[in-house]
Chains A and B, each alone.
Chain A
Amino acid sequence: MSDVARPAPPRRTLLWLFAAGACLFVLGVLAVWWKAFGTDPHRVPFELEGQPAPTFTLRRLDNGEPVSFDKLKGNPLVLNFWATWCGPCRQEHPVLEWAAGRFGDKVQFYGVVFEDSEENARRFIAEHGARYPQLIDPTSTMAVDYGVTGVPETYFIDRDGIIRGKVAQPIDPQTMTERIRELVAPPAPDGGSP
């Protein structure tokens, strides 16, 4: 059988173009999937880590006295945003109580009442106790300043007023202990964060 050279029709070129385009598209989709696999699509980014904590002045729930963030600088600070209508906040309350008793001499603990009434918060504290002061955020805008996405959230702020991280779920004793140890660790000799 002799060799017969058939010229490639333009239709075949078009098919090749289609195939190449489809391959590129599929590769692109796979790349996006590969990047997204293992990440929580509902996770809200937190951009304030390593940034100076926003300043605030809020009233204390117990005596109404103003508390200014500027006066809290110098000692590590644990800020817990909570509400009485939030079930997980109720669950984690004993952990915060325990931590305030255990680490209260090294770290300042403050609770911030989020989207709740003073009356509700007072009733809750009267029933469950609080070893650390609670602050009232009447319009909850201070929580937005801190990038809160819901309650409970616990922020860890170092002695220089830098946000070292937050836990956006009910905190457990182990996480609390580890975070506080990082917070109270002496500064690294090169001046970097501990």
Chain B
Amino acid sequence: MTLAPLLAAILAVTGSGLAEPPVIAEPLAPQRLAGEPLDPAREARVQALAKVLRCPVCQGLSIADSPSSMARAQLEKVRELVREGKTDQEIFAYFEARYGEFALLEPKAQGINLLAWVGPMALLLFGFFVILSQVRRRGSAVSPAQGGPPAAAPPAEDEYLRQVRSEIER
């Protein structure tokens, strides 16, 4: 049995035919030609800048890594600004003037943003200090048992124990 009658039946039921292919909606932006290409050195700079600019419609992606149409347009803008001879700072300022600091994948180290740089370092130092103090305490507690003459217990401790014992015996 060939599949032709079955295929014909399916086409008849679905109302479509080989002569009339279904129209498929175009879900993506069509490819288009970008502007004039840059020389390799300037194109490398464009890509480096695009790596630190955030795509506004993506989840934490740079415009260099995003395939979205918005990122494509922004990448083309970076190319245009590099072609015009703008500095890196001028290009970052251009995007910040439109999209705020959101546009920068790496926030600037100033103001409250400093917490992002100083905070982890401060926590690390604090943890180091805590560990160091614990190690020192254990070292001083263990040293008397390591063959040396037994050190006398602190007088305050002795006094406390003596008072406790006398309370119990009473």
Beta-carbon contacts of A78-108 to B below 8 Å, as 1s and 0s? Answer: 0000011100000000000000000000000
B15 at the interface (CB under 8 A from A): no
Contacts A115-B73, A144-B77; A44 near B30 (Cβ below 8 A): no
Q: Mark B7-33, 1 if CB is under 8 A from A, else 0.
A: 000000000000000000011111010
Give the contacting residue for B32; candidates A44, A46, A115; CB below 8 A. Answer: A115
- How many whole Å from B116's CB to the nearest CB in chain A? 12
Contact digits for A10-34, partner B, Cβ 8 Å, 1 yes 0 no: 1100100010010000000000000
- Cα-based distance from A150 to B27 in the complex (angstroms): 14
Interface residues on chain A, number (Cβ under 8 Å): 35
Contact check: which of A1, A138, A141, A149 meets B57 at CB < 8 Å? A149
Q: Which residues does B use to contact A, with CB under 8 Å?
A: 26-30, 32, 34-35, 56-57, 69-70, 72-74, 76-77, 80, 96-102, 126, 130, 133, 137, 156, 160, 163-164, 167
Pull 23 A–B residue pairs with CB atoms less than 8 Å apart, ordered by A: A2-B163, A4-B164, A21-B126, A44-B99, A44-B100, A44-B102, A47-B96, A47-B100, A85-B28, A114-B69, A117-B30, A138-B32, A139-B34, A140-B72, A141-B73, A143-B73, A144-B76, A144-B98, A145-B98, A146-B98, A147-B99, A149-B56, A149-B70
Q: A2-B167, A149-B70, A150-B57 are in contact. Are A45 and B102 (CB under 8 A)?
A: yes
Please report A residues at the B interface, Cβ cutoff 8 Å: 1-2, 4, 6-7, 10-11, 14, 18, 21, 44-48, 83-85, 114-117, 120, 138-141, 143-150
